[in-house]
């Protein structure tokens, strides 16, 4: 009789395990199908008009921001701050229409200081004329930049975007 019980017990264990797996699978299916998933765009856009107004009041130089960029240029980061050396910095970052990154970086630091801070490994890469203004080109380990010094500020338009997209951002900059 003992062998009959152990055979029956073994079958019950396998049967119970299969039933448990089915119950867990059914629960997982309910969670998967009825709980919303975020399948949307992972890029969070930000508004920057308030930060821009604050920076324009506080900065010791004319703060630049784009006007008239197409909606495909999405602002993703913005900040105005003063560093430990007392340099005022303005940053406004975008995702470009091609999905690359581009940012406006302004500071009352030197052009060399701005390039060191924003374009790791930045080396001169020629020059570009954008809307009649001369901009120096820099290429770094990951970023490239168009840089110039005017009106008491060093300005770098930098990112992973192509020089063409960076120039498009430069064209949109206004005080």
pLDDT of 86 strictly over 80: no
Query: How far apart, in whole angstroms, are the C-alpha atoms of residue 122 and residue 165?
Result: 18
Q: Are 135 and 127 in contact (CB under 8 A)?
A: yes
- Together in a domain, 26 and 73: no
Report the pLDDT value the prediction gives residue 6, as an integer from 0 to 100.
54
- Together in a domain, 101 and 144: yes
Q: Averaging pLDDT over each range in 1-5, 27-31, 133-137, which range is the top one?
A: 133-137
- Together in a domain, 64 and 118: yes
Q: Considering its fold, how many domains does the chain have in total? A: 2
At 123-155, the pLDDT tens digits run 989 889 998 899 999 999 999 999 999 988 999
Q: Per the domain annotation, does 28 fall within a domain?
A: yes
pTM recorded for the entire structure: 0.74
- Together in a domain, 104 and 124: yes
pLDDT of 3 strictly over 60: no
Name the more confident of 19 and 63.
Answer: 63
Range of the domain at 24: 1-37
Measure Cα distances from 122 to 97, 111, 117, 138, 166 in Å: 24, 12, 9, 6, 16
- Together in a domain, 132 and 97: yes
End-to-end CA gap in the chain: 94
- Give SS3 for 120: coil
The rounded mean pLDDT for the chain is 86
Helices (H) and strands (E) in the chain, counts: 4, 9
Mean pLDDT, to the nearest integer, of 33-46?
A: 71
Report the pLDDT value the prediction gives residue 92, as an integer from 0 to 100.
96
- Together in a domain, 160 and 74: yes
- Together in a domain, 54 and 13: no
């Amino acid at each position: 009789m003992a062998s009959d019980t152990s055979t029956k017990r073994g079958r019950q264990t396998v049967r119970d395990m299969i039933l448990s797996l089915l119950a867990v699978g059914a629960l997982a299916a309910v969670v998967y199908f009825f709980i919303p998933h975020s399948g949307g765009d992972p890029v969070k856009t930000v508004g920057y008009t308030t930060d821009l107004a604050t920076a324009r009041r506080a900065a010791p130089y004319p703060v630049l921001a784009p006007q008239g960029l197409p909606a495909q240029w999405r602002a993703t980061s913005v900040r105005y701050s003063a560093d430990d050396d007392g340099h005022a910095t303005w940053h406004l970052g975008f995702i470009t229409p091609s999905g690359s990154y581009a940012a406006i970086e302004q500071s009352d630091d030197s052009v060399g200081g701005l390039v060191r801070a924003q374009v790791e490994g930045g080396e001169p890469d020629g020059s570009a004329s954008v809307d009649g203004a001369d901009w120096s080109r820099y290429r770094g380990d990951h970023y490239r930049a168009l840089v110039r010094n005017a009106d008491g500020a060093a300005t770098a338009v930098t990112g992973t975007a192509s020089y063409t997209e960076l120039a498009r951002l430069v064209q949109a900059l206004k005080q």
